[in-house]
Amino acid sequence: MYIVVEGAIGVGKTSLCRILAEEFSATLNLEVVEENPFLAPFYQDPERFSFNVQTFFLLSRFKQLSNLAQQSLFDRAVVSDYLFDKDFIFASMNLRDAEFELYKDLYTHLKPQLRIPDLTIYLRADTPLLLERIAKRGREFERNIDPNYLKTLNAHYEDYFRGYTGDLLIIDALEFDYVENLFDRSKILELVRTASARGMSVGQELSSLASV
C-alpha cells in the first residue's frame, strides 16, 4: 500500500503521515523543504525566484520518489507527505509564459516514471487555520507568508482535486484534531483503513466523510 497525504502549506500533512506510518508500520517519506536554497528568497521576491524554487523542488522530489520506489515501495507500506503533482500545483500559480512551458516539459517527461499512489488523502483547511498552524510550527522563512498567497493556493488545490481520478479520501482538517485528540485520531485511522480496503472515489462528498 502506497498512501500519500496532500494539502496546502501548514494543513498538517506531516503530522498525519507520522501517525499513519506508525499505525501501519510503514516507511515514512517526508519532503525535504529546508534544503531548497531558493525558498526563503522566493517568499521575499516570488517573481524573481519562482522558476528556481519550482525546478529545484521538481527534481528533488523526483529523485526522492525514484529512490523510494527502488528501495522499499514493493517491500512494505509507504506513507508520503506529498504527491509528485504537488509541484505542478505550485508551478501553475507561480510561473508564467516561457518559464512555465519549460517547467511543463520537464514535468511531463518525469511524471510517467513514478508510481501512482494506492490512496491519496486530501486535507482541506481554510486560510485562517493554515496561518495559525504555520505560525505554530515557527519556520523562519514562512514567517511573513502572504495570506492571499495561501488563499490562492487553496483554490488551486481545490481545482486539482476536483479532477483527481485516483482513489481519494477528503478530510476537513478543522473537524479533526488528530494530534492532540485520541478520539479524533482513532476516527481518522478508521477512515483511512476503510478507504484503503475499498477505495473511495473523487465524487465522495466531504460531509459524508466527516460523519463516518
Q: Is the alpha carbon torsion for 143, 147, 153, 157 positive or negative?
A: positive
Q: Which of 81, 105, 118, 177 is catalytic?
A: 81
∠ CA 206-209-212, nearest 5°, is 155
Cell numbers 498538517 correspond to: 12
Q: Is 167 a catalytic residue?
A: no
Per DSSP, the residues of 103-118 read HHHHHHHHGGGSPPPS
Angstrom distance (rounded) from CA 95 to CA 182: 41
Sign of CA pseudo-dihedral 34, 161, 167, 124 = positive
Question: What is the spatial distance between Cα 86 and Cα 197, in angstroms, rounded to a whole number?
Answer: 25
Active site residues: 81
